[in-house]
Structure 1
Amino acid sequence: MARTLSNDLRKRVIEAVNGGMSRRAAAAKYDVGEATAIRWVARYRRTGSWEPDKRGSGAPRSPLDGLRTEILALVEEQADITLGEIVVHLHRAHGVETSKSSVDRFFARHGVTFKKRLRTPASRNGPT
């Protein structure tokens, strides 16, 4: 995603268009994309503001983020719980439709790691 351009530049493009210049001519004059100038002017006419919209959303990234404490408590209670068991619990307790991969990504997002079992030691009976 492109970076947000300055409000001063947005204001100058919009004022040029309001002063009678075409949106494409204003885009060329201020060295911005034509589609960008068209969107800025449309937004200004719709809202009366040249300020950019907020970036990102305020909504949680996943329904699982709202259940963070419960999921982490499940793992705390039962250290060997599987992803599938967590999925079943969330469906039964909260009606949340999710998948094992979503739960795995939830743990990755929140920096939760699990120590893996050590490998089985090699056999003592080597080749003779």
Structure 2
Amino acid sequence: MPQSYSGDLRERVIGTVESGASRREAADLFEISVSSAVRWVQRWRKERSSEPKPRGGSRSVLEDYAKRILALVAEHRDWTLDEILAAMHKQRIPGSRTALWRFLDRHDLTLKKKPLCSRATSKRRSASAPTLDPAARVP
């Protein structure tokens, strides 16, 4: 993705237009598109800003309620995702199941009930349990 034009170039284009040149003349002078010169001058006159707007990414609405959501999760560690979502809606916190999942993932929180454990055999199956191998059956 191409980079934004520098703030210095934007200021020089705006300064040229403010000193009496047309936007098209300023665009030709600094070798930029006319539409860029028009947008920069419009933004300057409206907001008094020549800085480029932020690019990329998005921000979740749930970040506005981060303290409340994290407190809710900390208070009820054994709740499922749907239970947390229902409690959020009762508190008038907007969001969907997917948005909540992504929020918790960004904050490195999981809702696992037990830690994963590696085991070689099943605890339910004893050593004397019959096998399900058809070749081992005796008719």
TM-score normalized by structure 2?
Answer: 0.63
Per-residue CA deviation, residues 30-62 of structure 1 (Å, 9 max, x unaligned), is 122221100111223334x35326638xxx731
TM-score normalized by structure 1?
Answer: 0.67
Work out the number of aligned pairs and report it.
Answer: 122
Aligned partners of 1:4 and 1:52 also within 8 Å = no
Larger RCO: 1 or 2 (CA < 8 Å, sep 6+)? 2
RMSD between superposed Cα atoms in Å? 3.3
**Corresponding residue number in structure 1 for 2:98:** 101
**Corresponding residue number in structure 1 for 2:51:** 52
Alpha-carbon shift at residue 89 of structure 1 (Å): 0.8
Q: Does 1:65 align with 2:63?
A: yes
Which residue of the other structure, out of 77, 80, 85, is the alignment partner of 1:82? 80
Q: Does 1:34 align with 2:31?
A: no
Separation in 1, partners of 2:45, 2:65: 41
Separation in 2, partners of 1:44, 1:72: 40
Aligned partners of 1:7 and 1:50 also within 8 Å = no
Q: Unaligned 5+ residue runs, structure 2?
A: 126-130
Report the identity percentage.
37
Q: Unaligned 5+ residue runs, structure 1?
A: none
Structure 2 letter corresponding to 1:72: L
